[in-house]
Amino acid sequence: MSELLIKNAVVCDPINKINCEKMDISVKDGKIVDSVSSGAKVIDAGGKLTMAGGVDGHTHCAGKINVGRFMSPHDMRMTNVPGLSGKEAPTATTRAQVGYNTPNAFAIGYRYAKLGYTTIGEAAIPIIGARHTHEEFEAIPILDKFGLTLFGSNWQVMEYIRDDEPEKLAAYVAWGLKASRGYGIKIVNPGGGEAWGWGKNVSGLDDPVPNFDVTPAQIVVGLAEANEKLNLPHSIHLHCNNLGKPGNYETTIATMKLLENIKSKRDRQVLHVTHVQFNAYGGTSWRDFESAAPQVSDYINTTDHMTFDLGQAIFGPAMTMTADGPVEYSNSRMLHAKWSNMDVELEDASGVVPITYSPKNFVNAVQWAIGLELALLVKDPWKVMFTTDSPNGGSFVNYPEAYTYLMSAKRRAEVIETLPEMALGRMNIPGIDRELDLYELAIMTRAMQSKMYCMDTKGHIGVGADADIAIYDLKPDSVDTSVEYAAVKKAFSGATYTIKGGEVVVKDGEITMTPEGRTYWVNAKMPQAVNDAMQVDLVQKFKRYYTVNQANYMVEDAYLPHPVEITTEAI
């Protein structure tokens, strides 16, 4: 393959502790190297901001998003973010694009690439739906992908936890990751998905799951222990109980505390709590609803065992989609909105409901503030992953807009001025003057993901890393990001260059080529004897309950034409 030399790049690479320093980057065969020959193709970055390709570690890009597409034919007409939404005719290099919150698969690839992102993680794969997820992954061009597999309301999981069978549990998780070609353990409202099968929900960590005699707390701890026994690259990825309910911050903090004593052999967190914006609510009802971001942030500041992501809300239309079936039922009732509901056999539930976050609505205004408060009140940016839980809090195409909220108090003040008086007393953001710099933004959008997912070739541009690079039209030496937020938004909305695996895929905000991305998955090895014992139980599950034969259930190799298999050995 060809060689590439990027000259005069002003590099922000927190993994390698490079804080906006001018340097050259050498690329050979899709990797960053020390030096290249004089025949290398040269790109002059001209002093522009250069970062590793962005990593969105929690987005809904394949699988359930399809239900959102069925439900929202009007979404394809939405043009809320010019250039990154709506209908676009095919070109010589790109295929037709439509949509905003639920764009077609091609558009997801192109638009992330335009923002300088090169890797995305699908937040929830039900094992039984995994084939479809991988088919959609293949249809998303350019980006590398990985997905997290749902285990939090799985019958086999709950039975092994109830029966105190940690070895078999680990064997089942390993099998489930292989069956779904997943990267890690996702837990959504532990136990709640099963309870929803009975029209119920679990009310908190100690509320037993109907018919299984296990509590959400036991599920979380059991899966976290299995996670570490399998030595998986990512920790458990947890969507807490009571999401979206006023007063839920207590459950959130209690859940975080539950995992304090889990130990990992890897140099990473043992818990990732996702879209905490939806789980940092104070008050007792929507009347006295308020931000509890300070309480949650105070706790996170005292501990080092966890990371989290924001789930930042963006004003405008969004589409909620989650395996948390009961939450979607409440959403649809509360919003009088259309509702999709699905039972995922022995594994979980799911739902999809459209929503519009309005700055005039005091609840939405406070939600907007909570995400920002979490990002700014937690002192260590290495604990914070920037997300909108796209498209739950808003489409990922709004990331550049959201960066300006984090980087400019002036920009925040402008938005705050438009919010209702009632909301202002329920939030803390007007009193927060912290502004992220480009280095901190690089941590939250790419560097911390490298550590959090133990992906040592992603999220940085040190020697040996994948040559995934984004160059933005900003000069770190001269730009004042706290004032020139319009320039910041413009620069991040269309990268000057996005380089994926050493190839220029975006130039001046336009797609130049569309190579196929790879799919990362984890093959966790357990001793054969344990696997065999687990299979005896599993065969019964398929025989008695599943609508699918076990032989037809596994994702086969043919579904991953571009796999990257990561092997781990059980401890």
Partner 1 sequence: MQTVTLSLKEKNTIPIEADAINPDNFASKSKDDIAAIMVWYGNAQSPIGDLFDVSIDGSDSAGNTKIIINGDVSRVKRIGQDMSAGEIVINSSVDMHCGSNMTGGKITINGDADSWLGCEMKGGEIELNGNGGYYVGGGYRGEACGMKGGKITVTGNVRDYLGEHICGGEIVVKGDVGLLPGISNSGGKIVIEGNTTMPASEMKSGTIIVKGKVAELMPTFKEDGTEEVDGVTYRKLLGDVNIAGSKGVLLVK
Binding residues for partner 1, rule: CB under 8 A, are 71-75, 77, 336
Amino acid present at 277: Q
Q: How far apart are CA 487 and CA 407, in angstroms?
A: 12
Which is nearer to partner 1, 77 or 379 (by Cβ)?
77
Residue 508's region, left for phi above 0, alpha for psi from -120 to 50, else beta, is left
Residues forming a β-bridge with 506: 498, 511
User: What is the smallest separation between the CB atom of 105 and partner 1, expressed in angstroms?
Assistant: 19
User: What is the smallest separation between the CB atom of 422 and partner 1, expressed in angstroms?
Assistant: 22
Which is nearer to partner 1, 73 or 199 (by Cβ)?
73
User: What is the smallest separation between the CB atom of 303 and partner 1, expressed in angstroms?
Assistant: 43
> Which tokens belong to 288?
């006295």
Q: How far apart are CA 45 and CA 502, in angstroms?
A: 15
User: What is the smallest separation between the CB atom of 356 and partner 1, expressed in angstroms?
Assistant: 9
User: What is the smallest separation between the CB atom of 123 and partner 1, expressed in angstroms?
Assistant: 24
Residues forming a β-bridge with 120: 56, 145
Which is nearer to partner 1, 74 or 410 (by Cβ)?
74
Q: To the nearest 10°, report the CA torsion of 420, 421, 423, 426.
A: 170
> Which tokens belong to 417?
């001025």
Which is nearer to partner 1, 86 or 476 (by Cβ)?
86
User: What is the smallest separation between the CB atom of 75 and partner 1, expressed in angstroms?
Assistant: 7
List Cα–Cα distances, 205 to 171, 208, 229, 242, 428, in angstroms: 25, 8, 23, 9, 28
Which is nearer to partner 1, 73 or 90 (by Cβ)?
73
Q: How far apart are CA 526 and CA 413, in angstroms?
A: 54
User: What is the smallest separation between the CB atom of 318 and partner 1, expressed in angstroms?
Assistant: 14
Please check whether residue 99 is in contact with residue 85, taking contact to mean a CB–CB distance below 8 angstroms. Answer: yes
Which is nearer to partner 1, 287 or 544 (by Cβ)?
287
Which is nearer to partner 1, 75 or 468 (by Cβ)?
75
Residues recorded for the chain: 571
- Characterize the bridge pairing of strands 271-273 and 316-322: unpaired
Instruction: Look at residue 367 and give its three-state secondary structure.
Output: helix
Nearest to 469 by CA among 2, 31, 75: 31
Residues forming a β-bridge with 568: 524
CA 405 to chain centre: 19
User: What is the smallest separation between the CB atom of 109 and partner 1, expressed in angstroms?
Assistant: 24
Which is nearer to partner 1, 360 or 379 (by Cβ)?
360
Which is nearer to partner 1, 95 or 562 (by Cβ)?
95
User: What is the smallest separation between the CB atom of 73 and partner 1, expressed in angstroms?
Assistant: 4
Nearest to 418 by CA among 357, 371, 375, 374: 357
Which is nearer to partner 1, 320 or 404 (by Cβ)?
320
Instruction: Look at residue 331 and give its three-state secondary structure.
Output: helix
User: What is the smallest separation between the CB atom of 354 and partner 1, expressed in angstroms?
Assistant: 9
Q: How far apart are CA 405 and CA 520, in angstroms?
A: 32
